[in-house]
Structure 1
């Protein structure tokens, strides 16, 4: 089935789909032969680009999010859906984008080795609610003290599908018990660390605009990019995206005090 880069983009805010498209354009600059698949409810955004899309219907999103109770369940279930169609998958959040050659990422993915964004340490106070509840992730009883990995990127092998299915099922047990939005990354990190398997940070040439201030600035820059370049041929858009800046320079902070947020 081969290797694939992937994105999951959904929601009322088109920023997520536009962010995924911009990231994919930069990826195709550094890795022209890359296979890219996007699971999305806005397939029209990707029409005409060398990007495969898988449609997310409203009913499917409701199912994935446990009846709308936990929207990040869509990412956990979507990861499983995308991985079914490739040998190795490198999934990026829509606010992550390459700044260099990413082709070596698959060399670090194997049945016993996965890649995630970074190790965040032990979970915070909300996860103490798990202790003594006998919540299970596959054959492992959760304690709430397992290491937490950030899932801004996820590099996984097809053989991890059973572990990721266990992670998705475990999420439902925690909804309404753990008052945090990070259930998805917590359960995925635990699942990929079982049975002698390991996770490592990605250490790849990637940048992001995850914080409030960065996102405000990136939103404006993405709107400007597609307004000015969306009519060009795909090859030209790839070339323009490669040199287009989404990060804030000092002059941007000076000119636009409303984006001083970190």
Structure 2
């Protein structure tokens, strides 16, 4: 099987690019033979590393985001593009990083079985507005009460490309009605739950720095890593990345309190 790990890194804040590269280095440590593909607007940042890049132009990103109207449309279209290039894909947001061997994940991805980070339950905010809007994914008319799955991690089989593309078409409509950043993951979760398909929660050794406090701490550590280790050989960068801690200890939190 042609299995691939994938990331999407773009934008003015290079933390997304450095985060993807840092995560990929750790992935290479735990899964030395992993195929890694990064969809990015800055492929030059990943030159000489053991991974593949696919370039996104500004025009492509404008189209993916429905005319720069919905930023997360780039992620949705990007996941689909990565999936076109493999049989089974394990996608991670750039603030996700492995802390152990996750290569077994592909054994649990099939035409009828996908993986997402976790189920967040019934969506809140404006989602009831979808009831009566006559937006469909396949034969299913959305009501806004469907379960919301978090898309920080997505494991999906290539046979579900049509379902993902149907979800992307719905994202364009849902994002016009709702003032929220979540239509992308909402529609993907619905599409991957149809026609006998099921989604399982990810229980693999993957950590994240998705909250603001965690992200500030991780940004500093990642910046320091590439400033100090970025000129080392690839093998040494891989080992150094695997040894670097991005999560805060109680002592780190205590120091932050005194800094205030």
Q: TM-score range by the shorter chain?
A: over 0.9
Please report the TM-score for the alignment, with normalisation by the length of structure 2: 0.98
**Within 5 A, what are the aligned runs for 1:81-230?**
81-230=81-230
Equivalence for 2:243:
243
CA RMSD across the alignment: 1.2
Partner of 1:232: 232
The question of 1:69 aligning with 2:69 is answered yes
Distance between the aligned counterparts of 2:145 and 2:69, measured in 1? 24
Quick check: 1:19 aligned with 2:19? yes
* Superposition deviation, residue 176 in structure 1: 2.8
Q: What is the TM-score normalised by the length of structure 1?
A: 0.97
Q: Secondary structure at the match of 2:126?
A: helix
- State yes or no: 1:7 paired with 2:7: yes
What displacement does 1:11 show?
0.8
Return 5+ residue gaps in structure 2 as ranges. none
Which stretches of structure 1, 4 residues or longer, exceed 3 Å deviation after superposition? 257-260
- What SS is found at the alignment partner of 2:91? strand
How far apart, CA to CA, are the structure 1 residues paired with 2:161 and 2:117?
A: 19
Cα distance between partner residues in 2 of 1:232 and 1:179: 45
Cα deviation digits, residues 44-90 of structure 1 (max 9, x gap):
11111001000010000000000000010001101111111100000
Q: Bigger shift: 211-220 or 247-256?
A: 247-256
- CA separation in 1, counterparts of 2:2 and 2:125? 41
1:172 positional shift: 1.0
User: How far apart, in 1, do the equivalents of 2:253 and 2:145 lie?
Assistant: 39
Unaligned stretches of 5+ residues in structure 1: none
Residues 138-179 of structure 1: per-residue CA shift (max 9 Å, x gap) = 221101100000000000000000000000000111123112
2:76 aligned counterpart, secondary structure: helix
User: How far does residue 258 in structure 1 lie from its aligned partner after superposition?
Assistant: 8.8
Mapped contact 1:253–1:259 kept (Cα < 8 A): no
Classify the secondary structure of the residue corresponding to 2:232: coil
